[in-house]
Structure 1
Amino acid sequence: MATKKLKAKAHAYAPQSKADCQADIKKLGDLQRDLLRAQADLNDEIAHLTKAATPRLEALQERIGTLQAGVQTWCEANRAELCGNGKTANLITGEVQWRLRPQSISIRGAEAVIDTLKRLGLERFVRVKEEPNKEAMLNETDAVRGVAGITVVTGVEDFTITPFEVEVPGA
């Protein structure tokens, strides 16, 4: 069996000794923790800003909802005068419209609906999805090797760096 070579891409920086590599792993851990702290600080600031703005935003949404409901009530009561036989009215400061949504289907309890459709002989409304079974192919790689469009990927090696850290209980 042939030995596998680990291909490494050339980078602008690489440690020059074992000590340099150890120091760089420590720096990597420090930088990762700094990144996590910066992300936590940012999330804290976002939470603070959101909490501070929430009452104002809720008040604005409530006012908008009240105005929209009032305008709709008035427009519904005066629709014939506003539109005649049409569906749109221009009120100078804005426009109101009445539009029918396209027909749609809503399904609750998909499994029960599928069973009912099959029982009623309405299988044409049940979609059967065919797709390659990768799990079965992994169990029998020799059978699918060479089939156009299928590639059996083996021997991929990942390189990971895990700086040592102490976990504080209860933190």
Structure 2
Amino acid sequence: MQYKIINTDTIYIVGLNQTANFTSNGLVTAKLAKSFMPIINLITNRVDQTTISLQNYTNFNLENFSPAIVFEKWIGVQVKDLNTVPDNLQSLTINAGKYLVINFEGTIEDFVSFWQDIHFNWLPNSEFKIDNRPHFERLGPEYNPNQAVNKEEIWIPIK
């Protein structure tokens, strides 16, 4: 599997969030995106033009994995700082650390299979251990869930 390791400074996210689990994640993500995308341009201090699809797990543990695990789902953007958070939007600070970054291209169904393979097959047999920080995907401006094929980056926190 091709990947790169990125050491980040503190990352600041502004967006919307809601509680989800692996069963409801698709519906929750669609709902958040539908609410967030029309107001994305209210955020004036964005780092770039990508959108962030983020999962903030309390403690991600593959040994105790269940589709019913509850987590905080975010749709947002990375910003330079949290000095100007528009009303009705939330902010999240991600501590500096190391991320395993894997490029993905395919359908939403392919993404689910790819994500499962990374987490349940490849990672347990790799040198990496998952860190307790948010997991996220970076979606370029050309990303559209209605397209058959999309590109995104999968960011997995490691230690």
Query: Could you state the TM-score of these two structures normalised by the residue count of structure 1?
Result: 0.17
Structure ranking higher in strand proportion: 2
Structure whose residues are more often helix by fraction: 1
Q: Whose RCO is larger (CA < 8 A, sep 6+)?
A: 2
